Amino acid sequence: MARKATIIGGGVIGGGWAARFLLSGWDVSVYDPDPEAPRKIGEVLANARAALPALADVPMPAEGRLTFAANLKDAVEGTEYIQESVSERIELKHRVYAEIQAHAPDALLGSSTSGYKPSQLQENSTNPAVLFVAHPFNPVYLLPLVEVVPSPKNDAQRIEDTKEILREIGMYPLHVRKEIDAHIADRFLEAVWREALWLVKDGVATTEEIDEAIRMGFGLRWGQMGLFDTYRVAGGEAGMKHFMAQFGPCLSWPWTKLMDVPEFNDELVDLIAGQSDAQSGHMTIREMERIRDQNLIGFLRVLKERNWGAGKVLLDHDARRASEAPAAKLSALDAPLLLSHMQVLPGWIDYNGHMTESRYLFASSEVTNAFLGLIGAGLDYVAAGRSYYTAESHIMHLGEAKLGDALTGSVQVLGADEKRLHLFMRIERDGAPVATIEQMLLHVDTVNGGTCPAAPEVLAKLQPIVTAHAALPQPKDTGRYVGQRKSR
């Protein structure tokens, strides 16, 4: 049975939370009295469905069920986790919490607030131990950071439970040890925002020029290395001490106006908004969101390839999902062994919108790896210096696979001896063949090179399968050569 999360407030942030939970397999109940909430969340969810799966290299779980509750009582019924994302008005938040805790007093209750401290949120709460800050970043369905901020009134174990839930849905919970206005990240953003307003107000730079300074310069560094590691590298071989000795005196120079606030009036609003409209007003917000998402996917994929920063979070999440997937088991031997369940991910698609050629071979390798693990020739066996290497492959492309399609992979053993393994694999969608792959594998000594007999314990597990599969009908497409006409 799917777990349930409740989202209170269906704006951009609430919609992002809903999408993150839904695409992680949770059922989601949304409460927002705004009659436009279903449309707004639907648009955010459409963006998320096109973006979040592109970060995964393992199948996504089945999407959860989305419902819109008519009232708070129905919204929180049976829920495990509640995320509040209403407007930044403390009196409104207190009213919402009071009603929530009247019906679900023990449920975990996180707030998306960007400014309030948890102790402020907990005022007059009937159960402050479960109420805390869980501040995300937009788009919630792509960016992993969540600032988890408790107060001394919070139950430490419930905070740990919260962090584990957030990891389960692919996020990075940053535990803020001391509550403070605006937490950690928004304090930086506020400083940059104030200085940017001054630069525009004083006519030093336009909104576009400031954005270019970030996009073309330090923004690229910060996104993959952060602030302090960036400056450590800037210090050269002498490191951070040299950097601070070189640039420390600048702290007393009048470079910034961070301690001053420009007067917030209609003139300032019109100046900023006018330049922003001139800069990017030719695009709709939805178009800009899609551009943003695709750029973020590209950045995150690169970081994932390097197991660095936010990319490490993605790799860890894939590993978690893979470990939770049911292991291949030796089922009845009177049919080919069904060993792999896969999903066509965005990275598998070519310019025609179909699964690209290399991914057919990748799909077959998933089946092969599962089979080798089944007979005791998995990663531990490889680490000991022995392995099966593919010597020959023949792929027949029989059908099209498209984004999101669920695929299965099965294997039939055509023959084997102490050094050779002859396999025939079927990749299917809804029982219909997408591809067949015939392979010959050789057992090798990876330390000394060259073929060698497989270990007796591997052969002992392999032989019963070979014997049983010898009684199965021979696949009609075995032994084909390129260009041979299809058999009828």
Instruction: For residues 211-234, give the mean pLDDT.
Output: 90
| pLDDT greater at residue 269 or residue 150 | 150
**Bridge-partner residues for 349, per DSSP?**
355
Asked if residue 328 has pLDDT above 60, the reply is no
Asked if residue 147 has pLDDT above 80, the reply is yes
pTM: 0.79
Per-residue pLDDT tens over the stretch 50-79: 889 888 888 788 899 999 999 999 999 999
Instruction: For residues 374-388, give the mean pLDDT.
Output: 94
Q: 189: which residues sit within 8 A by CB, 6+ positions away?
A: none
**Bridge-partner residues for 408, per DSSP?**
341, 428
Distances (CA, A) of 95 to 123, 135, 222, 340: 11, 20, 39, 50
User: What's the pLDDT score for residue 264?
Assistant: 82
User: What's the pLDDT score for residue 255?
Assistant: 62
| Whether the Cβ atoms of residue 420 and residue 440 lie closer than 8 Å to each other | yes
Number of neighbours of residue 443 by Cβ within 10 angstroms: 22
User: What's the pLDDT score for residue 386?
Assistant: 95
Query: What is the torsion angle, in degrees rounded to the nearest 10, for the CA atoms of residue 292, residue 293, residue 295 and residue 297?
Result: 160
Sorting pLDDT into bands at 50, 70 and 90, what band is 486? confident
Q: CB under 8 Å, gap of 24 or more: what pairs does 458-465 form? A: 458/375, 458/376, 458/377, 458/381, 459/418, 461/374, 461/375, 461/376, 462/375, 462/413, 462/416, 462/421, 463/416, 464/333, 465/330, 465/333, 465/337, 465/375, 465/413
Q: How far apart are CA 133 and CA 83, in angstroms?
A: 9
Q: 410: which residues sit within 8 A by CB, 6+ positions away?
A: 336, 337, 338, 339, 340, 367, 425, 426, 428
